[in-house]
Structure formats: C-alpha cells, structure tokens
Structure 1
Amino acid sequence: MKTTGFLIALCLATLSLPGQKRDLKEARIFVTAEKTGQLLDDAGFRAFEILEQPDENYPTIFVDDDITFQAIEGFGGAFTDAAAITFGKLPENARDQFIEACFDPVKGNGYNLCRTTIHSCDYSDEMYTYAEVEGDKNLDHFSIEHDMKYRIPMIRQAIQASGNNLRFFASPWSPPSWMKTNDEMKHGGTLRPGYRQTWADYFVKYIREYGKQGIPMWGLTVQNEAMAVQVWESCIFTAAEEKDFVRDYLGPTLHKNGMADVKLMIWDHNRGIIYQRAEAAYEDPEASKYIWGTAFHWYVGDHFDNVRMVHDAYPGKQVLYTEAGMRGSWRAANKLAKNVIYDLNNWAVGWVFWNLILDEENGPRHAGGLHGSNIVNANLETGEITYNPPHFVFGHFSRFIKPGAKRIPCTSGNDQLIATSFLNTDGSVATVIHNLDQHEMMMQLWIEGKALKSTIPPEGTMTMVF
C-alpha cells in the first residue's frame, strides 16, 4: 500500500484553563501532504460552528479538555557518531540551518529530548570505548576524548539553539570487550560477573565527564536492545540479569554518587515482550525503586496495546519511546504519524527517533549495510541538506505538543481516523489526527458543543492546537 502524509495544526486565539468553558472562535491550520505538496504550510484560520449533537455517521474527532492523563517529557532524535560526523563535515551555514530546523523552538521543530550513545554503536565510523586499557577495573584511563571532535560540539550547538531546553538520555550498545564473556563488543555475549561493579562505575564516569562539558544527563537506559545478538556492538541481558544488575550495582552506584535524579530505564527494545521485562523488574521492590520507567522501540510488530498494559499494571512507572530508525519516504512519514499517535495514546511520555541526520550514503556506519534515506540527509560533496517527509510530520508533534503538556481524552467516531490530543501548560490544546484511508475525507473536530469542519487528504495526518 502506498502511503502519504498530511498534517494540520489548529491554534485557537482564545485559551482557557481546565474546567473552564472555552470561547472557541477559530483555529489556525498547518498542512503537510504528499498529494498537495504541502510541508508544514500555513493554511490560515478556520472558524468553529455551534453543533450541540454530532451525527455518529459523520467522521468526528471528539476532544475533552477537562480530564488529563500523562505529562509529556519531550520529542527528539539521536546524537549518534554518524549524525555528528555528518554534521561536522557540513559547511558552517548548513550546520546553522540544520540546528535551527531541528532545535529552534520558534523557527524549527523544537526538539527538547534527545538520545545519545555511551561510546560507539553500529552508527559510528569505528568501534571504540572510553576505557581501552584491558583490565582497568578502576577506570583510571577513562576518557571521552573521542567525542570532543564531533559529537560534543554538535550537542553544544543544539543546546544553545534550544534556549538551553534540551535534555539527554544515553544508552550503551556493549561494555568494552574485556568486560564480556565473548571477549568482543559484537555478537552479543554477556557482562562478566567480575566486572559488574566496574560497568556500573563506567556509567557514573560517563555522566560526570559529559557534565563537565555542560551536557547533564537526564536519563539512562541499562542496555540497548538487551536480547539482540548483532554483528555490531551488542550485549545480552535477560530480564533477571538486567533486574539484578540494576538492583545490586547500577542503581546503588548512581545513588551513592549523587545521581538519584537520573531517570533509569530498562529494556530499550521492541514492544513484543515489554510486559515480561517490566514485570520481572517491577515485581522486585529492591530493583524497582531505582527504575523510572521502560524504554521501547518499534522494529518487530506493532503490539501497541502491550505498552498500555505495562502502564496499567504499573501506573507509577513511565514508558518512553526511544528509537525509530526510518527511511525518508512518504510511506515512512505515514508510519511515523501512526506510531506516535498510538504510543502517546498508550501512555508514552515522549517519542525519540534514531539518527538526527545521515550522509548521502545513509551513514557513516562501521557495520555496513548502507542504503536508502533518513529523516534528514546531507550531501557532503555539495553541502546540501534534504529534509525528508518524516521531518515535517514529526514537527507536527514536536512543534505543538510542548514539554509538560498533558494528554486529554480524544476519541474518533470513524475507524479510518486516529488521533491524540494534549493540553499545553499555556492552556492551548494540540490535537493530531491521521487518516488511514486512501481517500480524501470530510471530517470535523468537536469540543464543548462546537465543531470545526475540515477535509483531510488520503492517508493524511492533522495536528490541532486550540
């Protein structure tokens, strides 16, 4: 099935607080669509009309701003080595343009929650660690010097563009080879028992060294894709092993070093077995007390309800979407809109995609397999940056749903329309609607006895902020 993307944002001129009746007059509309050629285009204002009782046969999105659910932490992408190298090799004007397009909260997508990696991953130009001396249990030779060339300068520029409103969480792909049972960073393997404390200390060293560079860590995941044996950096933790490592080593070590406020997340892989991983950790109170939430990805099946089940069983814990590798196609943009909407409706507190930018070969990547496109690509020969359709679709979430916004009830009377809605801290509402159908559809948004009628293109998406 060929897919397209379409997005509309609606902003009401008159705002109100929860529980107060709104004076709904008009909304501002922005559109992204393949069929119409619009990319976050400003489509002007549209008026609300009085409508006491909607017809159940008319496609309608219903919004209620009197009830609130989870608060949003943020949206963003990943500062991988590949992204940083690509960025660093661009001319200065192109670098400035990219940073503004992604991180400026007024002129750009306003990314405010981003991921980075603890030493190398598959999207690095080489494998490396911060502790290259074998057997260095005290980490006397620990150094982040490698990151000073590309990654840290890129991060600093992004922080500045965001108005210092950018938070970070970090994930390791593998401990150093000398800490592992297979004596290499690739092909899975496990952490040697004798190095569990050293590996916990490694996290602390990393947080401290990045903090010295003006980059505080908001969060950590214990292990990227903890059950995946890969031909690149990878390490296996069963649910029991991850729980025990958090309970006996990583959690206590973070707390002992004054890092109890760092948001520690488990799992960091697909939705399929997310409940089993969460149950194992949260049913052990001595492990659970150190864990903020569960991180997850989208790579094997949808399984959207599994995320909700984790929240319903453990409502005191958070769920955060942490990695989405994607192409730069309209089909990818359509998948992106669908996944973000479903995950937010299933209690995700944020959504972070994978590489912020890649080069014209979709790299660099030491693991190989380069092909296709990314959310943003750069041609290093010409210095030209291409912002692909997913960039604009994602902007309809990140630009209008602000940190601290709370999800509110948002339902659909048509199976082909899915939607999510958030109440921002300034009283505005941001609603995102996606048309799953291959035909243009007349539809309306209904709230407090008034409706705003619009048309959504085939397989399109709408964001409404009012």
Structure 2
Amino acid sequence: MRKDHIKILCLLFSAMAFAQPKKKQSIKAFSTAGRSITVYTTAENSSSKLSETQKLEFTKAEQPVEKEISVFVEPKKQFQTFMGIGGAITDASAEVFAKLPKDKQQEFLNAYYSKDKGIGYSLMRTTIHSSDFSSGSYTYVQEGDKDLKTFSIDHDRQFRIPLIKKATETAGGKLLLYASPWSPPPFMKSNKTMLQGGTLLPEYDQAWANYFTKFIKAYEKEGMPIWGISVQNEPMATQTWESCIFTAEAERDFLKNYLGPTMAREGLGSKKIIVWDHNRDLMNHRANVIFSDPEATKYAWGMGFHWYETWAGGEPMYDNVQKVHEAYPTKNLIFTEGCVEKFDASKYQLWANGERYGASMINDFNNGTVGWTDWNILLDQTGGPNHVGNFCLAPIHADTTTGELIYTPSYYYIGHFSKFIRPDAKRISTVASRSQLLSTSFLNTDGKMITVVMNQSAAEVTYNLCVENKKASVTIPAHGIQTLVY
C-alpha cells in the first residue's frame, strides 16, 4: 500500500475516533458503607442552637413496623439541582449595618456569610431603587427623564453597595445576586406616584425596560455581577408603599415585547428573568398565562413566589408550588421573599417563627424549588427603618443604641439548611412516615448526604433514619430541627 494511502486511512480512523460520542461520566452511587452520621440540633427550651448533639452508626435495617416512626431516604431518586439560600440586602439592612460597631459588623457578616463561622448564605436579593424598607422613596433618574440620561446609582454607594461587597467577600468572593423593582419612577405610572399601586403607562414600556439594563450594567461596573432580575415585586398588590400592578397579561406582554428583547439586544440575554414574584395563591394562573405563551416563555427562566397568602386567614398553599412544577417542569421555582410580617420585640424568641421557616423550606424544596431567599437580613430594634411604618421581624436584629445583635429562632432554622446544603447539590427522595416530622434531603457534590428533619410536635420523637438497607435510630427533641450529615 502506498504511503500516502496509509496516511489518509490513519487520518480517517483518527477522525472517526474523535467523532465517537464521549461516554458520560457515571455518577458514583451513594452508599452508607463506612459512613457515620453527625447530628446537629436546634430545639426550643434548650441550649442547642445548630449544636452537634450525636454521632451515630448505621446498622442493618429490618422491615419497619407501623408503630415505629421512620424517615425514608432513597439516594437513587434525584430531583432538582439546588441553587442556594440567602436573604435580601435592602436599604434598611444596609443602614442598620452601618450603625454597628466594627466588631459587631464583622460578627454579623460571619454569622450569615461564613460557611465555617456562620450559616453560609450563597444567595442574595436586592432592590432596584427604593422599597418600603428604605428611609424614603427614590429612583435612579431625575423625575421626567424618559431618556434616562441622568441615570445614576450614587444613592446606593453610601450604604447598600458597601454591604453587598463585604457580604460577597465574606462568602469567599462569590454570591449569586438578583434584583427586583417595587415600582417604576412616578412619571412612568398611571397614578404619578411610586406608592399605592398604579400601572406602568404604555408609552414608558421601552424606557422601563431600558432602566433594568442600565441598573444591571451600573452594578456590574461596580464589580457586582447580577445573576438575574424579576419583572415586578408583588404585581397584584396595591400597597401603601412602592408598588405597581401588572395583570398576568400585562406582565406577559411587557416581558415578551420589551424586557426580554431589550435584555437580549443589550447583551444581557444570559441574565435570568423571574416572573410573578408574589404569593403562592395566584401563581398557577400567572404560570398558565406566561409559560403557555411561546414568545413570553422563552424569556422566562422561572417563577418566584412569596409566603404571604396566609393574610386571608388560610394555610400556606404549598401544593400550588408543586402544581406549577408539575405543569411546567422545565421552568425553575425560587422562593423570593418571606418574613414574619408584624414587628413585636416581645416575639424575638417566639419559636413558632422559626418553625414557619422550617416548614416552608422543607415543603418548598420537596415541591421542586431550587433556591430560597429570606427578606431583610437585618433590621433595628423598631423593625425598620421603613418609610411607611411597615415594620417587620428579621432573623437578626440590631439594637442600634447598644450595638447588640439579637439572633432569633428563624436564623437557626434557616441555618439548618444553608450551612449544610451547598450549591449544585441534588435533592433526594425523602419521606417521613408520620405527620409529626417533616423532612428533606440533598446530596452535595462532595458526596455527603444532608437530611433535615423537623419535629412539629410538643413531644420528643425517636425515629429510624432508613437509607436503602441500613438504618440509624435518632431522637429529636420537641419543637426541634436536626440536620444529619452522612
């Protein structure tokens, strides 16, 4: 055979070899072999606050009987990829932080953002100009400037931007940051004020879409990458504070005709856009209208939701989250806001407030949610500042007269998830056999399984943690929450 023919054949075989599809890396199967369990506990009427309380070993599991209580974990059944847990850096939080002594500022930063010294937040929300949790209403442009020539984020440089940067540094240099507007500027609205609802005037659709892109570029120029935005905070609420009404059809049309195309045109097409950003009660209708529209849905990364549907006196509508996930499985779900709504200093240590967080997080994750964001990370001894008197509770409060930091049960309940479940973890099938217990599990990328168990009852419960053909007997205190790491 001629040398040139041999050369051609070698090249052909080489090309064919490179053209073969690469074998997918097999995910290493989870096994309990050689693993022990470390249990961390927080409980009412005890000194346990994210405390290591037990070290356990797996033993062979028998068929459980009905009188036993069990938590069943099936590692082979994996679901959504975890994005992160965090809270909102509002103007109020940043202003209170600035009033703290330097040592308390560092303690606060570590408490939220350090994986070792605190609870390891990995997610952050902020506002596009003012919300109720600002000392007053403001925008980034002079009133009437439809061309946005006066656009400037100088207002945020005093308090908010420094805190965002310090939080990011404490978190190791990376925090996933997204932003939400409470209202367009007054001149763009039907009621000519940022407050009391109103709607975006059609002649300002493009200007308002441009405003989003200017905000993103301005923040990124300051070294703060923006992961995404939501279209409108609570678009069906006429509030005494900054608010703006978008019906489902109005949000759909603004997204597909203005915001989505403008983001793409400005080189921001990779940024995520979150729709709804309001309570669980009406989320299914909003999903149907927006996600069923072929043009609008291509711009929507997913749906954000809050927990305030209980204002009407009912229970949290957890099933609505699952129904959206069931109907639109390719869309992401993220909890974008929740807080204990009415400030009362006598309820700083009310245990039910922490349990509200635990129940919501477990149910939301089990229903397909990929990320979970608390509201204000810090408020003062009045539950503010808030320029319309809408004072609330936060997981951490600061008494600005003494410099004291006050840690509430909510902080510890959130920490049972955020400290241990890390970004890119996979949710794992987990079910409790009795209603006293709520549970969820995630498999971290380092191979460690994290199971969170919450006891809603007033009695101590002993349960079996059952993982494949192994089990361990665990005792959880009354009104307690545990994280099991194995």
TM over 0.5: yes
- CA-to-partner distance for each residue in 1:75-121, whole Å, 9 max, x for gaps? 00000000000001111111111001100122211101110000000
How far 1:42 moved relative to its partner?
Answer: 1.6
Query: In structure 1, which of residues 315, 327, 332 is the aligned counterpart of residue 329 of structure 2?
Result: 315
SS of the counterpart of 1:300? helix
**Residue 280 (structure 1) aligned with residue 294 (structure 2):** no
Structure 1: distance between partners of 2:142 and 2:118 = 39
Q: Which has the larger radius of gyration?
A: 2
- CA-to-partner distance for each residue in 1:241-290, whole Å, 9 max, x for gaps? 00000000000000111111111010001001101001100111101000
The residue correspondences of 1:88-127 to structure 2 (distance < 5 A) are: 88-127=98-137
Count how many residue pairs are aligned between Structure 1 and Structure 2.
449
How far 1:376 moved relative to its partner?
Answer: 0.4
Say if 2:32 and 2:58, in contact at 8 Å, map to a contact too.
Answer: no
Q: Which residue is equivalent to 1:176?
A: 185
Say if 1:100 and 1:161, in contact at 8 Å, map to a contact too.
Answer: yes
Q: Which residue is equivalent to 2:414?
A: 394
RMSD: 1.3
Query: In structure 2, which of residues 464, 469, 480 is the aligned counterpart of residue 449 of structure 1?
Result: 469
Say if 1:82 and 1:125, in contact at 8 Å, map to a contact too.
Answer: yes
TM-score (structure 1 length as normaliser): 0.94
- CA-to-partner distance for each residue in 1:305-328, whole Å, 9 max, x for gaps? 111111111111000001011264
Structure 2: distance between partners of 1:116 and 1:315 = 27
* Aligned residues with identical type, % of pairs: 45
Say if 1:53 and 1:449, in contact at 8 Å, map to a contact too.
Answer: no
Say if 2:379 and 2:397, in contact at 8 Å, map to a contact too.
Answer: yes
SS of the counterpart of 1:348? coil
Structure 2: distance between partners of 1:35 and 1:449 = 35
**Residue 59 (structure 1) aligned with residue 69 (structure 2):** yes
Say if 1:321 and 1:348, in contact at 8 Å, map to a contact too.
Answer: yes
- Does the C-alpha gap of structure 1 residues 369 and 246 become closer, same or farther in structure 2, counting only changes over 3 Å? closer
The residue correspondences of 1:345-424 to structure 2 (distance < 5 A) are: 345-370=366-391, 373-424=393-444
Structure 2: distance between partners of 1:304 and 1:23 = 35
Q: Higher RCO, 1 or 2 (CA under 8 Å, sep at least 6)?
A: 1
- Does the C-alpha gap of structure 1 residues 76 and 153 become closer, same or farther in structure 2, counting only changes over 3 Å? same
Say if 2:83 and 2:423, in contact at 8 Å, map to a contact too.
Answer: yes
- CA-to-partner distance for each residue in 1:3-54, whole Å, 9 max, x for gaps? xxxxxxxxxxxxx964353315421111111122211112241222221322
Amino acid paired to 2:320: N
- Does the C-alpha gap of structure 1 residues 338 and 365 become closer, same or farther in structure 2, counting only changes over 3 Å? same
Amino acid paired to 1:268: D
TM-score (structure 2 length as normaliser): 0.90
Amino acid paired to 2:66: E
**What residue ranges of structure 1 are gaps of 5+ in the alignment?**
1-15
Structure 1: distance between partners of 2:285 and 2:27 = 39
Moved more, 99-108 or 198-207: 99-108
How far 1:369 moved relative to its partner?
Answer: 4.0
How far 1:450 moved relative to its partner?
Answer: 1.4
SS of the counterpart of 1:37? coil
Task: Answer 1 or 2: which has greater helix percent.
Answer: 2
Amino acid paired to 2:284: Y
Amino acid paired to 2:330: G
The residue correspondences of 1:16-95 to structure 2 (distance < 5 A) are: 18-95=28-105
Q: Which residue is equivalent to 2:354?
A: 333
Amino acid paired to 1:381: T
SS of the counterpart of 1:316? coil
**Residue 303 (structure 1) aligned with residue 324 (structure 2):** no
Say if 2:279 and 2:306, in contact at 8 Å, map to a contact too.
Answer: yes
Say if 1:77 and 1:352, in contact at 8 Å, map to a contact too.
Answer: yes
How far 1:454 moved relative to its partner?
Answer: 1.4
Say if 1:336 and 1:394, in contact at 8 Å, map to a contact too.
Answer: yes
Q: Which residue is equivalent to 1:8?
A: none
Structure 2: distance between partners of 1:399 and 1:409 = 20
